[in-house]
Structure 1
Amino acid sequence: MKFRDRAQAGRQLAALLQRRGGFADAVVLALPRGGVPVAFEVARALRLPLDVLVVRKLGLPEQPEYAFGALAGDGVPEIDAHLVRTLDLRPSEIDAVVRAELAELARRTQVYRGDRPACEVQGRTVLVIDDGLATGATMRAAVRGLRRQSAGSVIAAVPVASPEACEALQREADDVLCVRCPTVFRAVGAWYEDFSQTTDEEVCALLAQA
């Protein structure tokens, strides 16, 4: 069964989290852009603060959609060393991609948050939310970044994920919660009737409303 849209997926994820319980002091961090409508519903249902955690994929120079790593919100690159060796990427190529994505990470963080300070995560339970996980690479980078910020308990929560992504994340996060983890996954968008792109304007509006 598909989710109607990200808002409905967020409400179903919120119901799952409410059944699990234990999030009274938590903060909800959304991976923009698609994770924000999902996280908004979770934060509203659980009465928790909502913020964004911008994570950028590090794509190959000639194939930007093919990632060799990711940048977490703290700007520290997570790079797949094995893939870099396999593809024989030069340090100069890696540096150029990292610099460009650092600039985009800073730009998006400014657009979404403005002058508002980031939510404090040190020692707190953090719910990290996206609209789904295919490989889980960006979520892993987010979790590792939160570890570096001394977050208390880090929980990855999504409406849908591939079994492989869930298994990989279990080694990184304190818990991984999914509404659906289908054996035959295909792609995140395949599990939504409406998977239209979330805009920066929608992200800002939801954050302001939260």
Structure 2
Amino acid sequence: MGEIVDDPLLRERTRVFSGRHDAGRTLGAFLLSLPSITQPLVLAIPAGGVPVGKEIAAALGAPFSLAIVRKVRIPGTTESGFGAVAWDGTVLINERLRQVLGLTEDQVGRAVEETKANVAERVARFCRRREMPPVRVKTVILTDDGLASGFTMLAAIRCVRDLGPSNLIVAVPTASLSSAEMVSREVDQLVCLNIRSGQSFAVADAYDEWYDLEDREVLAELGS
């Protein structure tokens, strides 16, 4: 299990960041206060992770790129997921949740194929001129705007691990305690400013301003 590093002053609090850029700047400064990170490479999960990742990369003077991952949505819903698909085709399914939901193999297969198509579309849209820099022997910092279930991040971790980084760090502004513990088992270190326990958790509760970023906003972030 990797080390979990948080900010004790922000534990269990809500509305601790004005927005994603503020969260990224705060997280970047926090990372700078930790022991030196050698050869960092920041990979952000779109959409919400892009402004966070850009600020971290700026603080560390590190290269910045994307890790395209999408949740596999539960049929009939627009937000809830039961797994994730990553840019290299990696599929991760929450089997426990799948069984609770009673999803058939056919339903799972259709949902996964729809998600794969969506991932391919986002890779084409966001990564046209942005190839991922070499990962081998780098300290890769994977980031998003928060961890709810953590399965999207787990899929990204599985992909990056196969590319041979020297160290793998997940750095996020906010996370549920259960997800932080789960994800930390897969990485060398998990850095999260605002960890919250309890049955109910929403990433949005850590922010004063929260909305889903549109693709045009992500493209504007990438072009700035």
Change (3 A) 1:86 1:183: closer
| Cross-structure match for 1:188 | 203
| Cross-structure match for 2:182 | 168
| Cross-structure match for 2:110 | 96
Report deviation, 1:88. 3.2
3-state DSSP of counterpart to 1:109: helix
Report deviation, 1:2. 2.0
155-164 or 76-85, which moves further after superposition? 76-85
Do the aligned partners of 1:31 and 1:53 also contact (CA within 8 Å) in 2? yes
Mapping of residues 28-107 of structure 1, within 5 Å: 28-107=42-121
Match of 1:117 among 91, 107, 131: 131
Superposition RMSD in Å: 1.7
Deviations 1:102-134 (A, max 9, x none): 111011111111133222212321100111112
| Cross-structure match for 1:142 | 156
| Cross-structure match for 1:200 | 215
Do the aligned partners of 2:92 and 2:151 also contact (CA within 8 Å) in 1? no
3-state DSSP of counterpart to 2:16: coil
TM-score, length basis structure 1: 0.92
TM-score, length basis structure 2: 0.87
Q: Which amino acid aligns with 1:90?
A: T
| Cross-structure match for 2:8 | none
Gaps of 5+ in 1: none
For the residues of structure 2 that align with 1:86 and 1:8, how far apart are their CA atoms? 38
| Cross-structure match for 1:25 | 39
Residue correspondences, number: 209
